[in-house]
Chains A and B, each alone.
Chain A
Amino acid sequence: MNEHESITAPLSARRRAWNGTMRALLYAAAAFICALLVFLIGYILYRGIPNLSWQFLSSEESVINDIQGILPAIINTVYVVFWTLLIILPLGVGSAIYLTEYATNKKLVSIIEFATETLAGMPSIIFALVGMMVFCQALGLGTSLIAGSLTLVMMTLPTIIRTTQESLKTVPQSYREGSLALGSGKWHMIRTVVLPSSIDGIVTGCILAVGRIVGESAILMFTAGMSMSMAQFGGGSIGEFFSNFFSAAGSTLTVSLYVYAKERADFGLAFAVAVVLLIIAFVINIAAKLAGKKLKKN
């Protein structure tokens, strides 16, 4: 910039003032956002860490023994993540495969893409309403973690489709042609050539989806309830086991944070849950970055 000024005529006072102001604004915005980030993270850790203990993470809440614990919430969160991924993976990857490998009808592709974008822009409270009506009521699943997982499938579908599609596009066309020329059918080609080379993208998509599932609260509050006690996952007989396993309900980490903060005004514990969520978000970010980097290298 200095060099630059020296070879041209000096700037007019007005231009200099404008330049100075805008430059100051740029740095001010950057400094402000950095300060905000440091404050947010620092404040959550400062309020939360004193309330975080091994007992809090590993025990169930008990009024009689005066124990506070979020083990049920952790188990419920894992349960929801597991079921959602189990359903979303084949669906999302399959959908991406259809769009990039099979679809020949341009109109259908554009309709599917429009639908995916619509889902991506839909607020979670709408999913929550519809999930409650469709899965809890119409399909008779009741208030349950399974109904929550199915609703989350609707929400995370665009994430998986998009990342898978991106990585499918990076598989060189010559791989496909080579495989087809050797006489393999399309499904054989996809299974043995295309999918193995795009596994990184699928992994990235899963990690991002896990992030969204763990962070979601409105959907789970509506479909899986706000109970803080341990859900009954097992049972004596096989029939009992299944009916318990599928009707289990309760709060996940985000919902229990909401319950602590808003219903019980127990802010210390709410911040302790916030620390757990912050750590999960941090780990997920790093994992997604690493998987993404590997994707770029290939």
Chain B
Amino acid sequence: MKAKPETEKRDAAAAGAFTGEQAVERIDAKNSVKDIMEKVMQGVFLFCGLVAIGFVLVISVYLIISGIPAIREVGLLNFLGGTTWSPANKTEPSFGILPMILTSVYGTAGAIIIGVPIGFLMAVFLSKVANRRVAAVIREVVDLLAGIPSVVYGLVGMMVLVPGIRNVFNLAAGDSLLAAIIVLAVMILPSIISVSETALNAVPREYEEASLALGATEIETYFRVSAPAAKSGIAAAVVLGVGRAIGEAMAILMVAGNVANMPSLLSSVKFLTTAIAGEMSYAGGLHRQALFSIGLVLFVFIMLINAALNFFFKRDKEGN
């Protein structure tokens, strides 16, 4: 009485899991609905996989097509090497973006010079020195810092840094390269900290133990053994920071002043990104096309940085 339902159940289970019979059926009738479904789904997934490639192609093609005309009209050398940007000038418009290129380079370099040492020290602190609970709390807050939208950084920079710089240096206006550099430095901190910390955590414990056993102090071990061992990870963090800083638009649009001067620390400046973000809404004709060309220049910069990043990450993987 008891055994019967159990065998029934087993049979039902076997039927439900469709082992032998259905497999045979599948071999016999290859065009069954199920097979078609399998084929269709494979196609659907392949399509999804190719979407990323499609997006990159669309971005590249559109930027190149829309960026070339203005460069052609102005001339590549005049465009990249010209020092005056006055696109709205009716009689003699000029489209030189050298000030913006230099501003973007200086701004990024400044943010790296300030952000990387602090971020690196913080990563060493979190990875090696701080006790676990303190490190966990700090990490949470750093993550929150990474989640704050860039316009919020811009707003705080506008209200705190800009007046501060105006008062300290006695300027007419505080919107300046310096303000932008500080905002960028704060914005790249979270990614520098987390990537360097991951690299430092991956250093084999034996290296550090060997160093300590040879008589080095803990601090010496962190800086002379752990850090060099994690150097490609830290390099990746730096390159990631460069990518972030050079691509940021909205936050520095709010603090940089947006006049296309040749860059100097305390003058109002215009970045590649802020030129696009700030002028697109009212630009027309050749001016608008020139903004697309700026986008193309920025795109080339970013692709170079991505290539560098790939190089470091790959070396890191092979190294381990």
Q: Is the CB of A36 within 8 A of B186?
A: yes
Contacts of B121 in A (CB 8 A): 25-26, 28-30
Q: Is the CB of A97 within 8 A of B48?
A: yes
Contacts of A119 in B (CB 8 A): 52, 55-56
Q: Is the CB of A183 within 8 A of B56?
A: no
| A-contacting 9-mer, from B4-12, B72-80, B87-95, B242-250 | B242-250
Assess whether B232 is interfacial by the CB under 8 Å rule. Answer: no
Q: Is the CB of B147 within 8 A of A284?
A: yes
Interface of A is mostly: helix
Q: Is the CB of A121 within 8 A of B118?
A: no
Query: Which residue of the partner chain, among A93, A121, A133, A289, contacts B306 with CB atoms under 8 Å?
Result: A121
Beyond A37-B142, A103-B49, A125-B276, whether A277 also contacts B156 by CB under 8 A is no
Assess whether A295 is interfacial by the CB under 8 Å rule. Answer: no
Nearest chain A residue, comparing its CB with the CB of B120: A29
Query: Which residue of the partner chain, among A4, A43, A115, contacts B217 with CB atoms under 8 Å?
Result: A4
- Docked complex Cα distance between A281 and B190 (Å): 14
- Docked complex Cα distance between A281 and B150 (Å): 12
Q: How far is the CB of A144 from chain B (nearest CB, A)?
A: 16
Q: Is the CB of B292 within 8 A of A129?
A: yes
Q: Which of A262-287 contact B (CB under 8 A)?
A: 262, 267, 270-271, 274, 277-278, 281-282, 284-285
Q: Is the CB of B149 within 8 A of A44?
A: no
Assess whether B203 is interfacial by the CB under 8 Å rule. Answer: no
Q: Is the CB of A257 within 8 A of B152?
A: yes
Assess whether A82 is interfacial by the CB under 8 Å rule. Answer: no
Nearest chain A residue, comparing its CB with the CB of B299: A126
Q: Is the CB of B149 within 8 A of A217?
A: yes
Q: Is the CB of A32 within 8 A of B144?
A: no
Q: How far is the CB of A149 from chain B (nearest CB, A)?
A: 14
Bin the interface of chain A by size.
35 or more
Q: Is the CB of B159 within 8 A of A267?
A: yes
Q: How far is the CB of B22 from chain A (nearest CB, A)?
A: 6
Contacts of B248 in A (CB 8 A): 123
Nearest chain B residue, comparing its CB with the CB of A261: B155
Assess whether B298 is interfacial by the CB under 8 Å rule. Answer: yes
Beyond A215-B148, A271-B155, whether A182 also contacts B17 by CB under 8 A is yes
- Docked complex Cα distance between A10 and B187 (Å): 42
Assess whether A6 is interfacial by the CB under 8 Å rule. Answer: no
Assess whether A211 is interfacial by the CB under 8 Å rule. Answer: yes
- Docked complex Cα distance between A108 and B50 (Å): 9
Contacts of A117 in B (CB 8 A): 306, 309-310
Q: Is the CB of B52 within 8 A of A95?
A: yes
- Docked complex Cα distance between A94 and B189 (Å): 33
| B-contacting 9-mer, from A52-60, A153-161, A169-177 | A153-161
Nearest chain B residue, comparing its CB with the CB of A275: B152
| Number of A-B contacts defined by CB within 8 Å | 255
Q: Is the CB of B17 within 8 A of A125?
A: no
- Docked complex Cα distance between A217 and B34 (Å): 45
Q: Is the CB of A123 within 8 A of B249?
A: yes
Q: Which of B21-72 contact A (CB under 8 A)?
A: 22-23, 26, 34-35, 37-38, 41-42, 44-53, 55-56, 58-59, 62-63, 66
Query: Which residue of the partner chain, among B142, B158, B220, B292, contacts A33 with CB atoms under 8 Å?
Result: B142
Q: Is the CB of B141 within 8 A of A37?
A: yes
Query: Which residue of the partner chain, among A8, A93, A184, A187, contacts B215 with CB atoms under 8 Å?
Result: A8
- Docked complex Cα distance between A270 and B138 (Å): 27
Assess whether A13 is interfacial by the CB under 8 Å rule. Answer: no
Nearest chain B residue, comparing its CB with the CB of A179: B17
Interface mask (B211-242 → A, CB under 8 Å = 1, otherwise 0): 01001011110110000000000000000000
Assess whether A241 is interfacial by the CB under 8 Å rule. Answer: no
Q: Is the CB of A115 within 8 A of B55?
A: yes
Interface mask (B167-182 → A, CB under 8 Å = 1, otherwise 0): 0000000000000000
List 25 A-B pairs, Cβ < 8 Å.
A8-B215, A18-B219, A23-B219, A33-B118, A91-B48, A97-B45, A101-B45, A111-B53, A115-B53, A119-B52, A122-B302, A126-B247, A129-B63, A129-B280, A132-B280, A133-B62, A183-B22, A190-B41, A216-B149, A221-B277, A258-B250, A274-B155, A277-B148, A281-B147, A281-B149
A-to-B contact residues, CB < 8 Å: 1, 4-5, 8, 11, 15, 18-19, 22-23, 25-30, 32-34, 36-37, 40-41, 43-44, 47, 90-95, 97-99, 101-103, 108, 111-112, 114-119, 121-130, 132-134, 154, 157-158, 161, 182-188, 190, 211, 214-218, 221-222, 254-255, 257-258, 261-262, 267, 270-271, 274, 277-278, 281-282, 284-285, 289
Top 10 A-B residue pairs of the complex, sorted by shortest distance between their CB atoms = A123-B247, A94-B48, A98-B49, A29-B121, A215-B149, A281-B147, A187-B41, A98-B45, A115-B52, A95-B48
B-to-A contact residues, CB < 8 Å: 17-20, 22-23, 26, 34-35, 37-38, 41-42, 44-53, 55-56, 58-59, 62-63, 66, 117-118, 121-122, 124-126, 129-130, 138, 140-145, 147-152, 154-156, 158-160, 186, 189, 193, 212, 215, 217-220, 222-223, 243, 246-250, 253-254, 273, 276-277, 280, 292, 295, 298-299, 302-303, 305-306, 309-310
